[in-house]
Amino acid sequence: MNSTPSSFSQLQHDHIDLWSISPKQLNDSELKYLKSLITDEEQTRIATFKSSSAQKTSLVSRAMCRLVLSQYINIPAQAHQFSRNKHGKPSLLKNSTQLQFNLSHNEDLIIMAVSVKDEVGCDIENPIRKVSIEPITRRYFSTQEHVMLMAKQGQAQNAAFFKTWTLKEAFVKATGVGIKLGLDSFYFLYDDKDNKQNIQVCFNEHYPLNIEQPWYCFHDQFQQQSFALCRATKTLQKICYLDAAQLIPVPKR
């Protein structure tokens, strides 16, 4: 895993930095440090989660976001201010660098994608989770994807479902609209033998945005998780994997 983020010039052209951290691997002192980075308002929101696991994941996600952004913008992690668009997607309040980012998480892993200028979205899912594939795809996915998935069985169907699911989530997040875009308004075409970059997004007639916008879409397995990235660009991307845990200072002895 790489330990140095890309430069701004690299990010503008063909790089997505993908940071990750596992909440379960952090000790009490590391969590205490992360808590010191977030605002009182954020701490209040975290406290509304009923389970301690959800509180921990939210804490690490928020603090990780601040630590990562400070690798690109020369201000303290505590000083970052955020805004949200009308669909809820967060961004930096003052962003003269045009830095773009997106996060996704579950209890085992948190990821954060970073790019410059072009919007980016990411999603991560645990592929061992039990899901009801037929009713989910029939109700929410496009007809094309439902037919494709129903033609598969067993592990092949499960793998294709999570690949499609993460791609769809990453895509709607990258558009800034979220699921209000309509998960059935677009669909993905890909070769099962090419698991990563040979992925094409296509549009149905009721897709509400610009169909001429080029997209780069990527899928892979990472730390036993299924994850996807989508970026509003036609340029083939290099994915730089980075360990966010390395940003947490080692306590002085």
Q: Is the pLDDT of residue 79 over 60?
A: yes
| Residue 226 contacts residue 127 (beta carbons within 8 Å) | yes
How large is the average pLDDT for residues 83-101? 85
The count of structural domains within the chain is 2
Say if residue 211 is in the same domain as residue 251.
Answer: no
- Judge contact between 97 and 11, C-beta under 8 A: no
Q: What is the pLDDT confidence band of residue 97, given thresholds at 50, 70 and 90?
A: confident
Predicted confidence (pLDDT) per residue in 111-129, tens digit: 999 999 999 999 999 999 9
Examine the domain organization and report whether 198 and 250 are in the same domain: no
Is 219 found in the same domain as 244? no
Q: How far apart, in Å, do the first and last CA atoms of the chain sit? A: 28
Q: State both tokens at 20.
A: 């990750």
Please indicate, yes or no, whether residues 140 and 85 belong to a single structural domain of this protein.
no
Quote the CA–CA distance of 77 and 243 in Å, as a whole number.
17
Structure tokens at 227: 């994850």
Asked whether 52 and 31 are in contact (CB, 8 A), the reply is: no
Three-state SS sequence of 180-218: HHCCCCEEEEECCCCCCCCEEEEECCCCCCCCCCCCEEE
DSSP conformation class of 2: B
Distance, in Å, from the CA atom of 218 to the CA atom of 96, rounded to the nearest integer, reads: 27
| CATH code of residue 136 | 3.90.470.20
Residue 8 banded pLDDT, cuts 50, 70, 90:
confident
> Average pLDDT, stretch 18-27?
95
Tokens of 81: 């201010």
Using 50, 70 and 90 to split pLDDT, how confident is the model at 91?
confident
Query: Do 110 and 103 touch, CB atoms closer than 8 A?
Result: yes
When pLDDT is averaged across residues 35-53 and rounded to a whole number, the result is: 95
Do 186 and 218 belong to one domain? yes
Q: What is the pLDDT of residue 88?
A: 83
pLDDT value, residue 253: 39
Q: Are 132 and 79 found together in one domain?
A: no
**Angle between the 154-175 and 133-140 helix axes, to the nearest 10 degrees?**
30
With CA atoms as reference, report the closest residue to 188 among 146, 125, 224. Answer: 146
Same domain? For 144 and 90 the reply is no
What pTM was estimated for this model as a whole? 0.93
Domain with 6 in it: 1-101+110-117+236-253
43 or 74, higher pLDDT? 43
Q: What is the tens place of the pLDDT at every residue in 222-241?
A: 999 999 999 999 999 999 99
Furthest-apart CA atoms within the chain: distance in Å: 63
Whether residue 249 sits in one domain with residue 198: no
Q: List CB contacts of 122: < 8 A, sequence separation 6 or more.
A: 18, 102, 103, 104, 111, 112, 113, 170, 173, 227, 228, 229, 230
Q: Give the mean pLDDT of the chain.
A: 92
CA–CA separation, 214 and 223 (whole Å): 29
- Residue 195, pLDDT above cutoff 80: no
Question: Looking at the structure, do residues 124 and 59 belong to the same domain, yes or no?
Answer: no
Q: Tell me: do 224 and 243 sit in the same domain.
A: no
Statement to judge: residues 12 and 49 lie in one domain: yes
Residues 251 and 204 in one domain: no
Q: How many C-beta atoms surround the C-beta of residue 115 within 10 A?
A: 24
Q: In what order do the strands lie in the sheet with 238-243?
A: 99-105, 110-116, 15-21, 238-243
